[in-house]
Amino acid sequence: MLTQTGPYTTIMLAAACCMLITGFILALVKSPADERAAKFRLAKWTLTGAVLLLGLINLIQVLIDAEGEMSYLGPCIALAIGFVQAMLFTNSLMTLIRPQLITKRIISMQAAVIVLIDTVLITCYTLLPTEKFLYIYFPTVVLYLVQLAYYILWFHREYKVFYHQIEQFYEEDEILRSTSWIRLIFITAVIVALLSFLMLFNERYIDLGLTIALALLYALFAASFVNYGLSAPVILPAIYTNDQPQPSGRSKTDMSQLELWIKSKGYLNSQLAVSDIARQTGITVEQLHQYFRDVIGEEFRTWRIRRRIDEAKRIMTEHPELSTTNIGKHCGFNDRSFFYQQFQRFTSVSIAQYRKQISPKE
């Protein structure tokens, strides 16, 4: 255990100040103007308030306990805050990937349960002697583990849905990579939450390390919110792609427009997202995907890449003098590495090998 309170108090105060600064930074993060980002703005302000509140709580805790011996006050406060942190982190991240699921009813139910648990925990700490308080404290730790397990399973399931939506909406892998930080943040938060059980050892240096870890985690989260704000114009259309009204049936005219789009090689246009194609052909996104599954017998994303690769092969054969980069762009591949990757995936040979195969023999 740390025997001197000077360094402990100084570092804890610095961590608390970092949390307060992070809260102010979050407040200054510019929210996307898109009306579909309303829940993102709500999550940002909720998280801002939580960071500021946590910074103030840590500041008060340090001032109260700076010269005293460690008691179960620290672990008790950490556990009570842990329930709130887990809820805020998970729901904030869920707002970024599945905003349709985050409703007032869900938040209210979770908050009510957590307030009840924290109230019982703090009340028992205040009224009961330490020996009897532990009979309440350890079962509450088990409840905390149950909460974490529930959130992990929930996030994992919905992140798979989010990933599939992005994957079906855009071909380029960089879009998926640009959103991978959301999962990284969640994993990091879970690790910090599990490490908080070290507070059971009731040591100052553990309290110090966890406080610093939380401060860094919130700083990372603030930076990620900035990143999401920049990526929102790309992400939001994909995660709301299935929210448009669904007509009762599909007409031949609608499918004819889609078939005309196919014949005119509209799939070579890299600027069109799935929602744009559906809008142009007079159908919904769901109808478009259903058509390709039922009629074409292939997922739209796979079909479109395949047709682009076929077009690239045709151009390489008829115009071998054209550069690979220009051919890729003409066929709808904005990312060169993605073009190379998908070409080998669908042809089983590299572009260089394919060019050698089709080159005239001397």
User: Has residue 111 been placed in a domain?
Assistant: yes
User: Has residue 138 been placed in a domain?
Assistant: yes
CATH of the domain at 305: 1.10.10.60
DSSP-derived letter for residue 35 is G
Q: Looking at the structure, do residues 208 and 286 belong to the same domain, yes or no?
A: no
Q: What pLDDT, on the 0 to 100 scale, is given for residue 157?
A: 93
Collapse the DSSP code of 362 into the 3-class scheme (helix H, G, I; strand E, B; otherwise coil) and give the result.
coil
User: Has residue 245 been placed in a domain?
Assistant: no
DSSP-derived letter for residue 66 is S
pLDDT tens, residue order, the chain (362 aa): 444 456 667 777 777 788 788 888 777 777 766 666 777 777 777 778 777 877 777 777 666 655 444 466 767 877 888 888 888 888 888 888 888 888 888 888 998 999 999 999 999 988 988 888 889 988 998 999 999 999 999 999 999 888 877 776 665 555 666 677 788 888 888 887 777 766 666 566 666 777 777 777 777 777 777 777 766 766 776 777 555 444 444 444 457 888 899 999 999 987 777 778 888 888 887 788 888 888 889 888 889 999 999 999 999 999 989 999 999 989 988 778 888 989 999 999 999 999 988 876 54
Q: Looking at the structure, do residues 181 and 108 belong to the same domain, yes or no?
A: yes
- The residue from 214, 239, 264 where one domain ends is 239
Q: What's the number of domains the chain is made of? A: 2
According to the 3-state scheme, what is the secondary structure of 181-229? Answer: HHHHHHHHHHHHHHHHHHHHHCCHHHHHHHHHHHHHHHHHHHHHHHHHH
Q: Looking at the structure, do residues 284 and 350 belong to the same domain, yes or no?
A: yes
Counted residue by residue, the chain has a size of 362
Q: How many CB atoms lie within 10 A of CB 237?
A: 18
> Distance between CA atoms of 138 and 20, rounded to whole angstroms?
31
Contact yes or no for 113/246 (Cβ under 8 A):
no
Spatial neighbors of 102 by CB under 8 A, at least 6 apart, are 39, 43, 91, 94, 95
Q: Looking at the structure, do residues 227 and 300 belong to the same domain, yes or no?
A: no
Q: Looking at the structure, do residues 22 and 162 belong to the same domain, yes or no?
A: yes
Q: Looking at the structure, do residues 203 and 163 belong to the same domain, yes or no?
A: yes
DSSP 40-58: HHHHHHHHHHHHHHHHHHH
Q: Looking at the structure, do residues 269 and 234 belong to the same domain, yes or no?
A: no
- The residue from 185, 217, 239 where one domain ends is 239
User: Has residue 353 been placed in a domain?
Assistant: yes
User: Has residue 70 been placed in a domain?
Assistant: yes
Q: Looking at the structure, do residues 20 and 126 belong to the same domain, yes or no?
A: yes
User: Has residue 247 been placed in a domain?
Assistant: no
Q: Looking at the structure, do residues 11 and 47 belong to the same domain, yes or no?
A: yes
CATH of the domain at 235: 1.20.1070
pTM over 0.85: no
User: Which domain, by its residues, includes 344?
Assistant: 252-358
Q: What pLDDT, on the 0 to 100 scale, is given for residue 72?
A: 67
Q: Looking at the structure, do residues 215 and 131 belong to the same domain, yes or no?
A: yes
User: Has residue 244 been placed in a domain?
Assistant: no
Q: What pLDDT, on the 0 to 100 scale, is given for residue 139?
A: 92
Q: Looking at the structure, do residues 271 and 190 belong to the same domain, yes or no?
A: no
- The residue from 213, 239, 265 where one domain ends is 239
Residue 176 corresponds to which tokens in the numbers above? 């998926």
Q: Looking at the structure, do residues 264 and 170 belong to the same domain, yes or no?
A: no
Q: What pLDDT, on the 0 to 100 scale, is given for residue 19?
A: 79
User: Has residue 272 been placed in a domain?
Assistant: yes
